[in-house]
Structure 1
Amino acid sequence: MKHARVLPAVADVVVIGGGIMGVSAAYHLAAAGQQVVLLEKGALGQGSTCRAAGGVRGFFSDEVNIRIGLRSLEVFERFGDLFGTEIDLHQSGYLFLVDNVADLELFERNVAAHNAAGGESRMVSAAEAKRLSPLIDTTGILAAAWSPRDGHCTPESVVQGYAKAARTAGAVLLTNCAATGIETDGRRIVGVATAAGTIRTDQVVCAAGAWSGQVGTWVGVDLPVVPLRRQIATTAPIPGLAPETPFTIDFSTSLYFHTEGEGLLLGCPEGVDSWGFDTGRDPAWLAVLAEAVERRVPALAEVGLVSGWAGLYEMTPDHNAVIGRSRTVPGFVYACGFSGHGFLMGPAVGEVVRDLCLDREPVIDVGSLDVERFAGAAPHPELNIV
């Protein structure tokens, strides 16, 4: 269905992508007085955001990710008051289970970095991990990293909250309206093309998630973002499930789970990575999930699965986002490649994008996330990922 509204002829900024990054950026730019048009080829959030597990955390290995996560977490905590939309935030904590010495040393460093940046986390014993997350089998567990302020919420509600606020601030959000190209005069951006016509603008924000690599090619900017399918399942109600069960991750297998209604939401990688845009569910993954569950959460082996879906991680070579302003194409700003932790960073990254577009010092220094890092020294990978 084509969008019925008339395409604006001109904008200060055109945002490409209507997921968490796009709507957050559109809100912050509009609130700063910019004339903003957001283009989304489908429905808001339908790309990766609303297929996410909904985790929110400030617990990472890299300082910039910690600072982005913590600043975003502050917004999630106040989202209802700020935007008049409840997001079903459960701050039941994040619990990373560690079963080898190398990972134990990694998480001890992660805890130190997190606390140094203002977070609150600590290492706990296997027995304490079992008390926090009663369903787990602690066989082989050496310790766990516990970050009690973290948790999960509903991605769809966050997207709608930002979208409502963006429109109230004057942004035009066009769904079912895909960008088809970026027009330049040979050096500078002059417009964004759509099937309905061209919007004149000299600034574009690429917030297209797993599709960002294609958007970059329109202006000759190499954004090394590739899609990776990840699958999720939800269980039937579990009698006696502890309501404050944390977002629990078996780090060596990347199996994770958190409460979802009266049951659990579960996820883990596929047996063989599926690169590309296919979001069909692969039944073979269920065997991989069952093996990981049997190893770490055998109490779930007899619990039925009732639903599931697949979404896309937008992967970069070092599992860190690319956020910055192009040095070769004036007016091209990008925020993509979040490698599975984009949803939780949306609030702060929207502020950063606003600052980059307005050519002012960003609220968080994201210089280390500039895409140019891949042309220089070896990138510093984010290690605390699922």
Structure 2
Amino acid sequence: MSSSVFRTVPTSADVVIIGGGVMGVSTAFHLAEAGVANIVVVERGELGCGSSGKPIGGVRAQFSDPLNIELGSRSLRAYQEFPHRPGADIKLDTVGYLFLLDSAQQASDFEAGVRLQNSLDVPSRMISPAEAQRLCPYISTDGLVAAVYSPADGHCRPGLAVQGYARAAARAGVTIATHTTVSGIDTAGDRVTGVHTSHGRIACATVICTAGAWSAHIGDMVGLSLPVRPVRRQLAFTEPLAPPAPRIPFTIDFSSSAYFHNSDDGLLFGLADPGQEDGFDTTWTPEWLELFRTVTRHRAPALAGMRTVGGWAGLYEVTPDHNALIGRCGELPGFLYAAGFSGHGFLQAPAVGEVVRDLYLEREPFTDISPLSADRFHLGAEIRPEAHVV
């Protein structure tokens, strides 16, 4: 793959994509596949070194609104077809997603969600606590009211997806400039004219911001408010388990956000710390594991005593309503953006790559993404907050 450190980046391009995570390389792949030439992806570190390198890898279509369901469903199909297009093994494991519910209100809300999902061909279903325990023997049914399961969901390896898209994009002629930092964007009236980087200026007419948790800074360069804040999320891995762990769904205790799933010869653990302050710090602090253990002593007691052998911290790119920002800047049509996915970026990246491609080509995307415009916040049209943030 032609990813390298450039003493000078190409002096001109048709499209500059800022951010070499899964969203950036998916966009590059879909544009190149459609015949767009002279694309440069600019990444300040290595490919996938931001949020894309450290997510939990979940892929699902279980959401509570039609737009997110459509983005998730289309991406699920793309990940299933990934070995053929673009052509890479991402170790997809279709084990399903299992949400554990402990109140009548949660059950009622999820029942409405399942009806909506089923109407859009998502095979989710409400199940009993006993059936949930059969799917995931680790859990205790004490206090559970119901659960929701969708067998089509699962998890895969985000780093492999980033590399798969990037290699296919490079084969199609995309230039990928790693270790190249963007310092400014030139405009003239309502036109984009260039991007300044640490390795030279690139003259261009289109910039696409896929900079994840750093997108607010990129938006500021052109006077566009992209309300994205960085929030640290941490996870851990168990030591190898003997006997081996059973093959279980991606399991989430909805009230606490604690989750776990198979990972190599052990399990992966995670939980969102409700007290986590905003910031770009990605230091892994094992102390947060006590929060996970406190929850699992009740919900999945066997997990509380499992030994861990390390973990990592990454960033969620969070918007005020926990929904993405996708669109074209009205005042600067040459500036497009796809950011602020609030934990859903990896699982929606294939579909969003298609959408951004179509926006660039001025074609109608497969679904109406106008509700995700960044304008919604100053127009007072926020989407109902998406509660499922894993």
Deviation at 1:4, TM superposition (A): 3.7
Give the match for residue 50 of structure 2. Answer: 47
Give the match for residue 301 of structure 2. Answer: 298
Deviations 1:318-363 (A, max 9, x none): 0000000111112110000000111011111001011111111112
The answer for unaligned runs of 5 or more in structure 2 is none
Give the match for residue 7 of structure 1. Answer: 9
Deviation at 1:241, TM superposition (A): 4.2
Partner amino acid for 2:52? T
TM-score normalised to the size of structure 2? Answer: 0.96
Q: 1:271 to 1:226 in 2, by over 3 A?
A: closer
* Aligned-residue RMSD, C-alpha: 1.4
Partner amino acid for 1:167? A
Equivalent residues of 1:320, 1:382 under 8 A apart: yes
Deviation at 1:84, TM superposition (A): 2.5
Aligned ranges 1:201-350 → 2 under 5 Å? 201-350=204-353
Mean alpha-carbon deviation: is it higher for 261-270 or for 238-247?
Answer: 238-247
Equivalent residues of 1:271, 1:288 under 8 A apart: no
Deviation at 1:271, TM superposition (A): 4.7
Give the match for residue 150 of structure 2. Answer: 147
SS in 2 for 1:281: coil
Aligned counterparts of 1:187 and 1:358: Cα–Cα separation in 2: 18
Aligned counterparts of 1:6 and 1:223: Cα–Cα separation in 2: 29
> How high is the sequence identity, in percent, across the aligned residues?
51
TM-score normalised to the size of structure 1? Answer: 0.97
Deviation at 1:125, TM superposition (A): 0.1
Equivalent residues of 2:61, 2:73 under 8 A apart: yes
Give the match for residue 33 of structure 2. Answer: 31
Partner amino acid for 2:22? I
Equivalent residues of 1:130, 1:137 under 8 A apart: yes
Deviations 1:277-316 (A, max 9, x none): 0001224312212111212111112210011000000000
Deviation at 1:375, TM superposition (A): 1.7
Deviation at 1:270, TM superposition (A): 1.6
Aligned counterparts of 2:174 and 2:22: Cα–Cα separation in 1: 15
Give the match for residue 24 of structure 2. Answer: 22
Aligned counterparts of 2:121 and 2:298: Cα–Cα separation in 1: 34
SS in 2 for 1:81: coil
Give the match for residue 383 of structure 1. Answer: 387
Partner amino acid for 1:305? T
Partner amino acid for 1:36? I
Aligned counterparts of 2:93 and 2:352: Cα–Cα separation in 1: 22
Mean alpha-carbon deviation: is it higher for 185-194 or for 315-324?
Answer: 185-194
Aligned counterparts of 2:70 and 2:299: Cα–Cα separation in 1: 31
Deviation at 1:5, TM superposition (A): 6.0
Give the match for residue 87 of structure 2. Answer: 84
Deviation at 1:91, TM superposition (A): 0.2
Aligned counterparts of 2:79 and 2:33: Cα–Cα separation in 1: 18
Aligned counterparts of 2:286 and 2:159: Cα–Cα separation in 1: 26
The answer for unaligned runs of 5 or more in structure 1 is none
Give the match for residue 117 of structure 1. Answer: 120
Partner amino acid for 1:254? S
Partner amino acid for 1:384? H
Equivalent residues of 1:89, 1:153 under 8 A apart: yes
